[in-house]
Structure 1
């Protein structure tokens, strides 16, 4: 009976995949946070996205994304706060964005709305592409118990693993800060989406954190599973929002999310990954 079920399921999947003649192109764009809140484990410097050179680059980047003709754009905004994102984007389309932000949000939050990659990149590209909506996909109802993982390493006397995790974070901070000081915005984005950088990002979870703890302590694996769960939930929103009529989409997320979602897209027969370097060339 079990074999019959799996055979039926396999036939259903094959029929569903066959019904869609051509997969949709997904431009997965991983980025550092333009407005850095300092919430990540690795602490990096802030890039001045409002500088004239960066603004000129953003015009070129978003023009090329617009020429890619995305039918939908997804951003790292809480999925259950879509109405607020709609209000922000509508204000942006109406060329009253700065006034809307200054009258709606307290002064300490206004920099976020003016500098964030959602506004600077996604909203700008969406307006150029004549899109009427930007879609929220972030899911934050998961835990990230990094301190518990470090304590699990210490309790298990995993001295070498603890040192390896600290070295990895320090190396990333040093490398990224140097890039932030010397790279152009375009170079930063291309670097963040290179296979090597994405593999390093993902490797921190699987090569280091997943090993944390004794054989009866799964603090490390729990953190990694929560990270996977957050990204799977986010990706499911892309899957459920895209329709067969949508030929292309931009998914703009932090580079850590992109490292995970790249794997998901590669396993999804209804989507085809579009490389950023090919869009920006």
Structure 2
């Protein structure tokens, strides 16, 4: 007599999951480094110019520190559709046919750190994993409990702005600035402002003066703060998808991700829940 064995769906899913992870039990290491965009550092004063000898030495210090991680892939804040342009620029730069000062927005961390480090490590290229959408903090400025959000915004501004000003005045090095804003308390401060505090805000409207390039359609004004969080989270989910699929395509083992600091907290949350990844703390190398 034949005996039929029926497995509950949850058991089948568990067994399948174990099989998948058994086939991919080596974790990809990923080091996330957040930047206050270097291309926005220049305020017109000589001391704020990224191409001064002093600031170039400070950027080289960042590059040398991150070189010790020995990534086999560097991901930058460019969209995948820009990859062919990135490849062409990097090829010329690697062959000493192009200077960073010759590149449009060559002051950005994509080039100043990403290109520089990829050349030092003799990598093939750097990879764009961004999904560009723009939403400003000024978009959310009305509703019940709006002061909780505005107070958080002022705390971040009052913490970060003096540091940036010190860099522009040459009293704080770019290296020390980037090292500081990658500390856990600074990551949590910016993450809380974008992905936590806005949820307190209800019964409001988005400002007509705020910047937003996302097609948001109809919004629920009762949960205006939650709607605001959704705009940022949606972009970062797409960036996360680009990270996963770029790694999968090229089978990299050690990734350096260079992004604006506001992205780091949410991307860490997503990657921490992915069993195929191991997050390396930035302080391990920026020490």
CA distance in 2, matches of 1:20, 1:247: 12
* Structure number with higher helix proportion: 1
2:261 to 255, 260, 280: 255
Alignment of 1:1-281 (within 5 A): 4-36=8-40, 47-98=48-99, 101=102, 110=104, 112=105, 114-140=106-132, 142=133, 144=135, 149-151=140-142, 153=143, 158=144, 161-180=145-164, 181=166, 182-214=171-203, 217-243=222-248, 245-281=251-287
Separation in 2, partners of 1:35, 1:6 = 50
Spell out, residue by residue over 1:229-277, the C-alpha distance to the aligned partner (whole angstroms, 9 max, x if none).
Answer: 2111111111112148522010110001011111112111111111222
Instruction: Give CA-to-partner distance per residue, 1:93-148, whole Å, 9 cap, x none.
Output: 1223249947xxxxxxx3x2x211100011101111111111101112x5637555
TM-score (normalised: structure 2): 0.80
1:58 deviation in Å? 1.9
Point out where structure 2 has 5 or more consecutive residues left out of the alignment: 1-6, 204-219
Quote the offset at 1:31 in angstroms. 0.8
Higher deviation after alignment, 121-130 or 9-18: 9-18
Bigger Rg, which one: 2
CA distance in 1, matches of 2:261, 2:268: 10
- Tell which deviates more after alignment, 187-196 or 45-54: 45-54
1:143, 1:223 within 8 Å by CA — same for their partners in 2?
no
SS in 2 for 1:115: coil
Cα pair 1:30 1:257 within 8 Å, conserved = yes
Structure 1 stretches lacking a partner, 5+ long:
39-44, 103-109
Deviation at 1:216, TM superposition (A): 5.8
* Root mean square deviation, CA, Å: 2.8
Distance across 2 between alignment mates of 1:246 and 1:148:
38
